């Protein structure tokens, strides 16, 4: 994959499409159960799927010295991100929620430059700027004016989730890059899911849960495809391409999320959303075409 950039590009397109579609199911799941309960079902399913894969492929357990690092990534990428996102989605549309979470490339790029010492080329700076301007355009100027406090609270939770995901990306590159991606995905999700279960016990114990064909499908799609498959592929991508390029490409997710939210949930698709989506795609194109110079991380001695 390091030599064939097309394969990396196809994998990015695959996971962004699945993640974009998953936002519709995440929002719809709130009609059947609480946000923490759904996350517990989703990541419990994802964890079971990955652990079965680890067993079938005889990948083995990670070294005990790596467990603390897996716990950190699990808490940052699974527990915090998806408890905060699912709770925030009670107040924010699915499409707009995906836009807020995928401010993650901005934070990841800042962390990658400041902590990992990756070089960011002028082309990537321009692409990132255009893409983030597209996000702001989609959100609309209403974010600068007074809104319903519940909406602001929900939006802030999702932005915190975006920063947490960016932190997980950097921590993975610093501490876990030598492990197999399947091991990392399985065990970080295991530890992160334990955190979600604890949050569910405190926040939603005894709450209503409606399990039927529709809600089970939402759990399986988001658990097996959007979680187990996509996060494994994500760690593979972080290992073979620089983090700025990888995270910038995920700006496609809110474009898909907005489109599917409009198509399936009848969420409003305004002119600002359409213009912003075009800007996001343009930003990705600029970064990939103009910003081709590969980022180089610091040496171990430099990064401490």
Is 277 among the domain residues?
yes
> Is the entire prediction scored with pTM above 0.85?
no
Is 298 among the domain residues?
no
Distance CA 65, CA 78 (A): 21
Is 303 among the domain residues?
no
Q: Which tens digit of pLDDT belongs to each residue from 25-78?
A: 998 999 999 999 999 999 999 999 999 988 988 888 888 889 999 999 999 999
Closest CA to 297 of 125, 173, 121, 165: 173
Is 297 among the domain residues?
no
Is 63 among the domain residues?
yes
What is the residue range of 111's domain?
1-291
Distance CA 110, CA 166 (A): 9
Distance CA 19, CA 260 (A): 11
Is 304 among the domain residues?
no
Is 176 among the domain residues?
yes
Is 301 among the domain residues?
no
For 37-82, what is the HEC assignment? HHHHHHHHHHHHHHHHHHHHCCCCCCCHHHHHHHHHHHHHHHHHHH
Distance CA 12, CA 302 (A): 30
Q: Which tens digit of pLDDT belongs to each residue from 167-194?
A: 998 998 888 877 887 888 899 999 999 9
Longest dimension (CA), the chain: 55
Q: Which tens digit of pLDDT belongs to each residue from 204-238?
A: 988 889 999 999 999 999 999 998 888 888 878 87
Is residue 234 a contact partner of residue 78, using CB atoms and an 8 Å limit?
no
Q: How many independent structural domains does the chain possess?
A: 1
What's the whole-number mean pLDDT along residues 138-164? Answer: 80
């Amino acid at each position: 994959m390091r030599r064939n950039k097309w394969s990396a590009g196809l994998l990015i397109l695959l996971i962004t499409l699945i993640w974009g579609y998953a936002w519709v199911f995440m929002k719809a799941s709130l009609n059947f159960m609480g946000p923490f309960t759904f996350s517990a079902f989703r990541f419990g399913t994802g964890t079971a799927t990955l652990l079965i894969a680890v067993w079938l492929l005889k990948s083995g357990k990670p070294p005990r010295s790596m467990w603390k690092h897996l716990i950190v990534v699990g808490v940052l990428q699974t527990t915090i991100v998806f408890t905060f996102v699912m709770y925030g989605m009670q107040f924010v549309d699915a499409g707009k929620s995906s836009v807020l979470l995928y401010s993650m490339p901005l934070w990841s790029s800042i962390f990658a430059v400041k902590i990992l010492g990756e070089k960011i080329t002028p082309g990537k700076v321009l692409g990132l700027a255009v893409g983030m301007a597209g996000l702001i355009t989609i959100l609309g100027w209403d974010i600068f004016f007074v809104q319903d406090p519940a909406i602001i609270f929900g939006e802030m939770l999702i932005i915190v989730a975006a920063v947490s995901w960016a932190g997980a990306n950097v921590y993975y590159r610093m501490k876990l890059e030598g492990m197999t991606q399947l091991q990392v995905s399985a065990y970080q999700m295991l530890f992160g899911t334990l955190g979600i279960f604890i949050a569910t016990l405190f926040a939603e114990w005894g709450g209503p849960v409606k399990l039927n064909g529709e809600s089970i499908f939402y759990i399986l799609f988001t658990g097996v495809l959007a979680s187990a498959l996509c996060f494994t592929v994500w760690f593979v991508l972080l290992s073979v391409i620089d983090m700025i390029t990888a995270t910038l490409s995920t700006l496609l997710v809110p474009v898909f999320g907005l489109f599917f939210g409009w198509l399936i949930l009848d969420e409003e698709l305004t002119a600002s959303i359409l213009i912003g989506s075009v800007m996001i795609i343009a930003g990705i194109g600029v970064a990939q075409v103009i910003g081709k110079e590969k980022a180089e991380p610091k040496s171990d001695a430099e990064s401490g």
